[in-house]
Amino acid sequence: MARMKFLCDAERCIECNGCVTACKNEHEVPWGVNRRRVVTLNDGLPGEKSISVACMHCSDAPCMAVCPVDCFYKTSEGVVLHDKDLCIGCGYCFYACPFGAPQFPQDGAFGMRGKMDKCTFCAGGPEADNSVAEFKKYGRNRLAEGKLPACAEMCSTKALLGGDSDVIADIYRNRVLKRGKGSEVWGWGTAYGKPEKGATPPAGAKS
């Protein structure tokens, strides 16, 4: 089984925010929720670099580890998903996540955050694949349709790669060899540096 990962090539990203727009449009994400964002380092200075970042679907996901209701699960392809029916909106995943991926529809007083929303690697949630309920809660399930994440597919410079880690790592390696620079695979150490954990859905989780 393929292990799905994201890889952003900082030598190519031009900060067009096409991935952000593609994501918002594909999943009809509510206002204020940003599953993906582009961060620019040294904006306007020599050596400016941009990175598109979303949930990296970590090997040993901190969100999964700290969730008090254990609402996260991992698909056999390594995609970290969560069950919004179980989520209580405590915000712990947001404290733990290194990438700032978990989003909440509100930031209300008395901890009224609403249910957490994050990048699903376009793999939906525990509901039946491509059902109305799944779309309403998690957005489109492109993986079930045999497609890769919309953000990476839409990327104009192919800076953002999403898919089987062996394939995208190969593409990246060839690029580095050809251009002779920019070998930093940003975020991979943090996201995939630890042994895989929780690769099977927990007992009782739907799907």
Partner 1 sequence: MQVGMRQWLCAGLAALALVMTSPAFSADKTSAQEQAASQQSQPGNNAPVWRDVRGGDNAYQTTQVRGVESSVLVQPEGETWRQVRNNLVTIYGGWVLVAIIAIIGGFYYWKGPMKLHEKPTGRQLLRFGSWDRMVHWGGAISFILLSVTGMITLFGKHILLPIVGYTLFSWLATVSKYIHNFVGPVFAVCVVLMFVTFVKDNFPKAHDLKWLTKFGGLISGEHVASDRFNAGEKVWFWLGVTLMGLLVSVTGFILNFPNFEQGRELMQIANVVHAVSSVLFLIMGLSHIYLGTVGVEGAYDAMRTGYVDETWAKEHHEYWYRDALAQQKSGGGATNPATASAMKEGWK
Binding site for partner 1 (CB under 8 A): 10, 17, 20, 34, 37-47, 49, 51, 53, 62, 65-71, 83, 85-92, 94-100, 103, 107-113, 180-184, 186-187, 190, 202, 204-205
For partner 1, the closer of residues 66 and 148 by Cβ is 66
Query: Which distant-in-sequence residues (6+ apart) come within 8 Å of 148 by Cβ?
Result: 122, 142, 162, 163
Least distance in Å: CB of 2 to partner 1? 25
For partner 1, the closer of residues 164 and 182 by Cβ is 182
The token pair that represents 32 in the structure block: 């204020």
Least distance in Å: CB of 199 to partner 1? 18
Q: How far apart are CA 54 and CA 119, in angstroms?
A: 6
For partner 1, the closer of residues 36 and 143 by Cβ is 36
Pairing of strands 160-164, 80-82: unpaired
Cβ burial, residue 94 (10 Å; 0-12/13-18/19+): middle
Least distance in Å: CB of 116 to partner 1? 13
